[in-house]
Structures are given as structure tokens and as C-alpha cells.
A = this chain, B = another copy of it.
Amino acid sequence: MRVQSVEKAFRVLGAFDAMRPSLSLTQLAAAIELDKSATQRFAHTLTMLGYLSKDPTTKRFALTVKTLDLGYRFIRTNALVERARPYLLHISNTTEETVNLTVLDGAEVVFVSRMAGRHVINADIVVGMRSPAYCSAPGIAMLARLPPEEAVAILDSTERHPITPNTVWRMDGLRDKLRLTAARGYATAFEEMHHGDLSVAAAIVDAHGRPIGAINIATLRSRTTPEAAEQTYMPMVVDAARAISRS
């Protein structure tokens, strides 16, 4: 029933990453574990379709700008992104901090929209970024809206480890965090993923109360305290998430 050549084509595209931005045919074949002639057919097809380029001199393949099209299409067709935009904009203007819209994909949160604060360097490359859910405020905010056994199963499906001394990563700690988050309706993560990073998040839910996204405000310890961040930003994310959930 499944079309195997489609899976292989996506394996070819998935072989490129920051460590391997370009690949020769031999490297590509090794990376996807296909023989060279099959790899050649897929690479050729993807080059014809415009998703790969082949350097005429080095004969190395690389991803092209056309790979941006699909994701751009998704962002433009996503109702949640549309609905959330005015709220993100309002919070961003009010706070001058970074505001993100994320969704849960397995055990990861994916950034689908962002208004960057005034202090952010890589404002431009964040849409599509993924983070582990267990140590991020939006991840915990969304997981806390699932039935506890479902949230635990998701957390159990992924490798967890302490990223900073503050990371809550053992299941006991995470269960407590989920209970607290469910009870009070918002999540915090203070320096759990990066040094100095403070984040406050609330989940957006569908008509059945299931999480469909989260909104979070991120600031830095150099500008405020965890207590002040929680107090100031909690009402903003909670109100926005509630308004987006209803709309």
C-alpha cells in the first residue's frame, strides 16, 4: 500500500544536515543505504523537481531554496498560526520580549510562529526549530493538558537527560511538574535548556480540551528574575491561550 520510492526520496532529502550540507553521490548512497544507481535515480529526480542542486564542478548535491516552499505552504494554511498572530503581536509589542507559538509533535515542540524580542540574534531561523518537550515550558504546558498516562507515555518514548543543572528530566519530577501545571494552568521553565533562559507558557486547546499548541514568552535572567517573569507573563500567556482556544 505504501509507495516505497516516496519514502526513499524523503530519505535522500533527510540525509543533508548542518554537519553534511553537501554530499557526493557516494556519500549520499552510504547515508541512505541504497546502491549508487538507485541513489542516482532519486537524486536526479529530486534535482529535476528542484529540491536538490548539483554543483557542476564538484558534483556534490545540496538542498535548494525550494525546500522552503512546503513549510511556507503549511504556515500559510495553518488556522492556528492565523488565529494566534494578533495575540503574539500584542504581547510582543507590550513586553518587547520574544513570543512563540509552538505545537507538539511527538515528544518535541516545533516553533511555528515567533515574534522576536529586541534582544534576539537569530530571529530569522526559528520557525521549524524543534526542542525536547520535557524541558521546555510550552512542552510541559501542552503535555499537562493530556490524560496523565498519555503524557507519561510520550515522555517515556524519548531520551531524557539533564541539559543544565536545572533540567527536570526524571519521571518523578516530570509527573509533579505536569500535576502542578494542570492545576494552575500554565508552565514555567527556568534555565532548563539554556543558561539564563526564562520561559512562561500556556496551552491552547481544542473544543475537547486537547492541546493544539502553546504560547510562551521567553526572557533572560539578565533582565529579570524567575519570580518577576512568572508574575508578569503568566496572566498574558494564560489570557492569550484562552482567547485563541475559544476563537
- A153 located at the interface, meaning its Cβ lies under 8 Å from any Cβ of chain B in the complex: no
Which of A65-73, A133-141, A143-151, A169-177 touches B?
Answer: A65-73
| Choice from B5, B64, B74, B78 contacting A74 with Cβ under 8 Å | B64
CA distance A176 to B65 in the complex (A): 29
Chain B residues positioned under 8 Å from A42 (CB to CB): 3, 6
Q: Given A5-B5, A9-B6, A125 and B75 touching (CB < 8 A)?
A: yes
CA distance A2 to B43 in the complex (A): 9
Within 8 A of B (CB), among A73-111: 73-79, 81, 85, 88-89, 103, 105, 110
CB distance from A69 to the nearest CB of B (A): 6
CA distance A74 to B13 in the complex (A): 10
Tell me if B17 and A128 are in contact (CB < 8 A): no
Chain B residues positioned under 8 Å from A16 (CB to CB): 73-74, 77
CA distance A114 to B7 in the complex (A): 32
- A1 located at the interface, meaning its Cβ lies under 8 Å from any Cβ of chain B in the complex: yes
Q: Given A6-B46, A9-B3, A46-B6, A74 and B63 touching (CB < 8 A)?
A: yes
- Residue of B whose beta carbon sits closest to that of A78: B21
Per-position binary interface string of chain A over residues 7-25, scored 1 when its CB falls under 8 Å from any chain B CB and 0 otherwise? 1011001101110111000
User: A interface, how many residues as a size bin?
Assistant: 35 or more
Chain B residues positioned under 8 Å from A78 (CB to CB): 21, 63
Within 8 A of B (CB), among A203-247: none
CA distance A18 to B75 in the complex (A): 9
Chain B residues positioned under 8 Å from A67 (CB to CB): 70-71, 73-74
CB distance from A218 to the nearest CB of B (A): 14
CB distance from A56 to the nearest CB of B (A): 12
- Residue of B whose beta carbon sits closest to that of A96: B118
